[in-house]
Amino acid sequence: MQPLLSHPAFFFVVCFVLMSLGGCGSIFVLRRKKKLESDVLEDFGVVQAATLTLLALLIGFSFSMAVSRYDQRKNYEEEEANAIGTEYLRADLAQEENAGEIRLLLKSYLAQRVAFYQAHGKAQLDRIDAHTGVLENRLWQAVLVEAKNNPTPVVALLVSGMNDVINTQGYTQAAWWNRIPVSAWVLLMVIALFSSMLVGYGARSNSAKSAYLLILPLMVSLSLALIADIDSPRGGLIRVVPQNLISLQHSLG
């Protein structure tokens, strides 16, 4: 189901079709077998209202979860830019022959981080991850040599800054993996389907052509697609733009 959630447009179509079939199917199947009697209409209304309220609460909670994860990805992008920019300045604390190498490696590393945010295909992302790992090893070896040759408190700042650069990359990767669980999506879609069926079953008209029966599936599907879009780091229209990393890249030349 995760690939479907990574494509919000297809996810919207699937949700809308399922909910529409559930609402219209309840008219053809359920109401033909047993119509609602007047003595159970009140109890049915209570169940229907409770189910719709539960669906609204779950949509609200899911939207809040998706937005918090999106904000977290944005914050870590800013932290990455600050860490790389600070370490670029701290490269002056190293000896001249090592300082130039550290700056060049940081520029290459910065380019890979920008490419990470703009990557689409899995093959491209795998290449970026592999290159990023190699650059991180080379950067750490560069500051490690400096620390061994000149173990002073000033050089310790250089090592600490490089540690921040590597750590923020790990935090960013963890934030991009941290998405709404699939089990929560399944529960949300099941409740949405039952809500649509209850609306169709409780409709006063037996005609499946009633336009208002499609309002609930349309609104719920749009809401779920928006949540999936925000929650998907790469597949949706709403994505984290690495504006701080790009700005840093331009400033470094």
Question: b vs e for 115-149, b when ≥16 Cβ sit within 10 Å of the residue's Cβ?
Answer: bbbebeeeeeeeebeebbeebbeebbebbeebbee
Length of the chain: 253
The CA angle 19-195-30, to the nearest 5 degrees, is: 80
Give the number of other Cβ atoms within 10 Å of residue 191's Cβ.
Answer: 18
* Domain that residue 226 falls in: 2-252
User: What integer pLDDT is reported at residue 208 of this predicted model?
Assistant: 46
Structural domains counted in the chain: 1
Instruction: Give the tokens for residue 170.
Output: 């790990």
The CA angle 199-202-208, to the nearest 5 degrees, is: 75
Give the model's confidence band at 211: pLDDT under 50 very low, under 70 low, under 90 confident, else very high.
low
Helices and strands, counts by H and E, the chain = 10, 0
pTM of whole model > 0.75? yes
In tens, the pLDDT along 7-42 reads 888 889 988 888 888 877 776 666 565 665 665 667
Nearest-CA neighbor of 161 among 93, 248, 98, 249? Answer: 93
Instruction: Give the tokens for residue 95.
Output: 């000896």
Give the model's confidence band at 44: pLDDT under 50 very low, under 70 low, under 90 confident, else very high.
confident
